[in-house]
Structure 1
Amino acid sequence: MDAAERAPLAATGTERIAAPLTAPLVDPPTAPFAEEQEEIRRTLRELLAARAGPRENRAAVAGPQGYDPELWARMFGTRMSGALGLAGLTLPEEYGGAGRGPAELALVCEETGRALAPSPLLATSVLTAPLLTALGTPAQRAALLPRLADATLTCALAVPGGSLALALGLTGDNTAGDWSGGGRAGGVQARAADGGWRLYGEAAHVVDGHSAGLLLVAAHTGGFARSRTLLFLVRTDGADVPGLVRTRTPALDRTRPRATVQFRDTRAELLGEEPADVLGALAATGRTAAVMLAAEAVGAAREALDRAAERIVDRAADRAVGRAVSSCAAEQRLADLHVQVEAARSLTSCAVREPGPGPESGPLALAHALEALRATAEESLRIHGGDGSAAEHDPLLFFERATSDELLFGPVRRLRARAAERTGLFGEVAA
C-alpha cells in the first residue's frame, strides 16, 4: 500500500499506536554522546534492514555457525576495516575498545533484538567480555580483549546443569547451593594436573557454544574444606581440542543457537588468579546482562507491535466500506500492548541510566520486557495467522525469542521475586 492509499488512515487509532515506537531507548536530550548514539542507531538499522530480514536470518541460522559471519564482521569489526566497530564499545581503550558505558551497548542490543539478528553479541560482548575484563590477569586481558574488540574472537559462557540464570544471580543468590556441580552428576569438575588444570563433565544450553573460539567454563574444584567455583579458559579458535566435544542442539529460538559441551580430561587455563571473587563478578555481569536482554526484548516487542499495527492498517485499507468489529477490537488490544511495551521501555531506560546498574533494576526490567514481548508476539501471531500471512512475516520468531529467553534467564516470576528479595520489599515473604 503506497502513501496515497495510507493517507485516509492516518488518523486511525492504529496509526497513532504505531507512530511513537521509533522513540529511542535512551532519550537523546539526557544521554551523553547523543549525536553519535543516533548515528550508530541509524547506520545499524540500515545495515540490519539490508542484511537481517526474515529470509536472511533463516539462511544464517541454517549455516554451520548459526549466524552470518560477514554481517558480524560488518557490525563488530574495527572501524579501520570499514566496519562499525561495535564489539569494542564497552571494552577499555587500552585494549582497542571505545570505553563507553552500558547506554551504547543497550542501543545495539535494542536494534539487533528488533531485527532478531542471529549473532554472538550476547555470548561474547554481554556475558563473557565483562568477566574477562574483571577477572583476567594482565597477560590474559592483553591476549584476549583486543581480539574481542576487533571481532576476530567470539566467546561463550558454559555453565553446567542449565543454571545460567542462577549463576548470574538473576533468579537467586548464586552463593547459595553448589550450582556448578559439587561432585554430582551433571556438573563440571576442575582438577589441578601437570602444572595446569583439567576439566571433566558437561554443560548444556551453552549459547553459541558450538562455534565460539573461546569457552569460559564455570567449574567446581577443591575438596570439602576448600570447595569453590572458579572460571576456566578453553581456547579452541576453530581447532579440535583433545577431550572437548561440542554438539549443536535444537533450540526453541532458532536465532540463538545452543550447544552441549562435554569435557573429557580437557586441558584448561584458570581465569585470573586465586583468590578471586568469581561469584561477585558473575552477579555483576548478570545485572548488566539483564538490562541488555531487556533492551533486546523491548526492540523485538516494538517491532512485533509495529508489524501487527501495519497489518491492521492494511486490512482497513482493503475494505471499501467500513471495518469489521474484530478489527476495532484488535486496535484496542494493540493500544493496551503499546502501553505495556512503553512501560517496559521506560523501566529498561531507567536501568540503563543507573550506575552499576542496580541489583534489582535489571531483573525487574527484564521481567517486564519479556512479558511485553510475549504479549505482542501472541497478538501478532493472532493477527497474521488469521489471514495466512504469518509465514511471510515470521511473527512466530518473536514468540520463540520471548519463550526461550524466559527459559534461559527466568522465569519472569522469579526475576520479580529476586528483585523484591534484594530490595526487602516484602521482607521474609519474598525470600
Structure 2
Amino acid sequence: MTSYRVRALPGLPEVRPGDDLAKLIVAAGPGLVDGDVLLVTSKIVSKAEGRILAATDREAAIDAETVRVVARRGPLRIVENKQGLVMAAAGVDASNTAAGTVLLLPEDSDASARTIREGLRDALGVDVGVIVTDTFGRPWRNGLTDVAIGAAGVRVLEDLRGGTDAQGNPLNATVIALADELAAAGDLVKGKAEGLPVAVVSGLGHLVGDTDTDARAMVRVAADDMFRLGTSEAVREAVTQRRTVREFTDEPVDPGAVRRAVTAAVTAPAPHHTTPWRFVLLESPESRLRLLDAMRDAWIADLRRDGKSEESIAKRVRRGDLLRKAPYLVVPCLVTDGSHTYGDARRDGAEREMFVVAMGAGVQNFLVALAGERLGSAWVSSTMFCREVVRDVLDLPEGWDPMGAVAVGHAAAPPRDRPARSPESFLTVR
C-alpha cells in the first residue's frame, strides 16, 4: 500500500524582499531527499519577490489586479486576476504583512516554483518537486483550502480518461488534481497562523520529475468553464450579449433548447393575468419552405402594387434569405384572449398596446434564453405584414397574430464588438 508523510518545516525566519527562498529553506535543515515535494505558501514567495504594496485602500489594489469580475456580493468580489486565477479579491492579502501594506500574488508562480526547485538542486543535489500554494474558496463547498497556483518538477494532473475503474467501468471524465491534493495535505500541518509557511511531503516520489506541465494547466479555459459568471453578472451578460445573428452554420438546432427558451419566454409580464404568447416551431424543412414561399409571393404582390421595379423587388426579396438559410424558424404569435373591450378607440387602442408590449417582453425573454443556450437568433418583422397568409399556410386559429419570425441557429462567426451605450442618453430624471 502506498503511504506518505507530511511535515511542516520549522526554523524559517521572517522573509524580506530580495531573500533567496531556496537558501532560507536549506538553512532550516529540511532533510530533503529525492522525490520529496515542497509546499511553499505564496505569501513568503510574494515577500521575497517584493510583491508588497503600500496601500491604505485594499479595494484599489484589488481593482489593479483584476482582469474580470466574475461575481460580486456586497464588498466581496470573485475575480479573474492577472495570473488567470479566479479567486476572491484577486489574491490581494492584508494578513501576515505590516499594517498599511498588502501582499500581491507572485507575478508567475510557476516560474517562482522553478527557481526554488533549481536552487535546492544546486545547493543540496536533490531532485524535488515544488508547489506554490494559496488559499481558495470553492463555488460548491463551504470553507477554504489550499490549492496549487505554481508548480515545478511535479505532476499536477493525472488523466485517467480512457481507463477503467475497479469494476471495469470506463472512465470518461476523471482527471485528478494531484497538485491541489498535495497543497491541501500540506495545509493540515502548516496551519494559517502558526508561522510555518513550508511543508514537505515524502513518499510520493512517483509524482516528481521533469515535466512539461505546470500549475497553469490546472486553470480551466473559458470555453470549458460552465460557471464563468456569478448570478447577477450572468443575467446582465445574457441580456447584453443577446445579439442579432444573420449568418448560421449548418449545425442542427436542438429542439429541446428551443423549448427551454420558450419556458423562459412565458415568464414575461402580461396584462390581466393572461398568457398572450404562442410560439409556432417550424421544425420541418417542408413547413419552412411552404411558409417562406407564400410570404415571398405576398411580398412581391405588395411591392408590385407599390409600383416598384422588378430589379428593386428582387433586391428587396433577397433580404428574406436570412430566414431561408436559418436551420430553424419560430413564429411568435400574440393572442389577446382576456383583453378588455371599452367601446372607445382610445382605451381599446391602449388595451391592445398592453398586449403588444407583453408580447415584446416574451420574445425578448425567448431571445435571451436562446443566447444562454449558445444559439444565435434574429427577430424579423416579416410575418406581421402578411398575417392572413401565415395563418392560412400554418393552419393557425384566427385569433393568433403572427408577430414576426425568429431565425435560430449556431452563429457562423462571433458578432462584431458593440460599444457600450451610456444610460445617461436614455434617461430623464424628474
TM over 0.5: no
Structure 1 length as normaliser, TM-score?
0.25
Determine which structure has the larger strand proportion and give its number. 2
Structure 2 length as normaliser, TM-score?
0.25
Q: Greater Rg, structure 1 or structure 2?
A: 2
